[in-house]
Amino acid sequence: MDEVLPVNGRNYVYRQVENSFTQPNATVNCKMLEWAIDCTQNSEGDLLELYCGNGNFSIALAQNFRKVLATEIAKPSVAAAQFNIAENKVDNLQIIRMSAEEFTQAMNGVRAFNRLKGIDLKSYECNTIFVDPPRAGLDPDTVKLVQNYDRILYISCNPHTQCDNLVELSKTHRIEKAALFDQFPYTDHMESGLWLIRK
């Protein structure tokens, strides 16, 4: 299914594929995208996104960066992201099929990955990172990786695990902006957004 999302006067087309993660509430998703675009306006350098899914955020955020590098582990989501990149005519975004944990290992030199052949990681000057992890939040190694970036945009479907991660992240970064998004009205579930800047 293809979905059209109006965001800041532009229509984004997203292919949604079966059994893949997507933001469940299109209206709230548009508000989240607008908030993320606003946070990252006037950003310099490049963006790294972990857990990019079908490219929902990375496609909309690409306008604010020179280049975007995004990771996603699920093959159907990567295929949908590639379609969405082409459909939205975004030419500064590259998707790598690997988990956040694998990417952390690659960045830390723990092991090499064939999937990174032909990708010059050194050509990226990422000083902003975007994460929208699963409900479990960021694992400790990924938290350490995230702390290496000047700016962190962190969207979470579980504010409790986001708060747990914030214990470590607040040692190096301060909260510049925060937002709550109600994807499921009349339930306890909330989506939390944080824009953190290095202290």
Select from 169, 186, 187, 109 the least CA-distant residue to 178: 169
Tokens encoding 138: 């960021």
96-110 per-position pLDDT tens digit: 999 888 988 888 788
Predicted local confidence at residue 107, as pLDDT: 80
10 Å CB burial of residue 145 (0-12, 13-18, 19+) is buried
| Locus of tokens 């939040």 | 137
* Residues 95, 70 contacting (CB under 8 angstroms): yes
List the beta bridge partners of residue 6: 11
* Residues 90, 59 contacting (CB under 8 angstroms): yes
Residue range 182-193: mean pLDDT, rounded: 90
* Residues 1, 22 contacting (CB under 8 angstroms): no
Provide the annotated active-site residues: 157
Q: CA angle at residue 85 from 84 to 86, to 5 degrees?
A: 90
CB atoms within 10 A of CB 78: 22
Residue 111 pLDDT > 90, yes or no? no
Select from 166, 185, 183 the least CA-distant residue to 175: 166
Predicted local confidence at residue 70, as pLDDT: 96
Report whether 38 belongs to an annotated binding site: no
Per-residue pLDDT band for 20 (boundaries 50, 70, 90) equals low
Predicted local confidence at residue 161, as pLDDT: 96
- Predicted model pTM: 0.92
Predicted local confidence at residue 144, as pLDDT: 93
Predicted local confidence at residue 127, as pLDDT: 95
Coil, helix or strand for 178? strand
Predicted local confidence at residue 185, as pLDDT: 85
CATH architecture of 2-198: 3-Layer(aba) Sandwich (3.40)
Report whether 2 belongs to an annotated binding site: no
E-assigned strands of 106-172? 126-131, 151-156
29-88 per-position pLDDT tens digit: 999 999 999 999 999 899 999 989 999 999 999 999 999 999 999 999 999 999 999 999
Report whether 72 belongs to an annotated binding site: yes
Report whether 51 belongs to an annotated binding site: yes
Residue 7 pLDDT > 80, yes or no? yes
Predicted local confidence at residue 19, as pLDDT: 67
138-182 per-position pLDDT tens digit: 999 899 999 999 999 999 999 999 999 999 999 999 999 999 999
* Residues 130, 57 contacting (CB under 8 angstroms): yes
Cα separation, 16 vs 1, in Å, equals 5
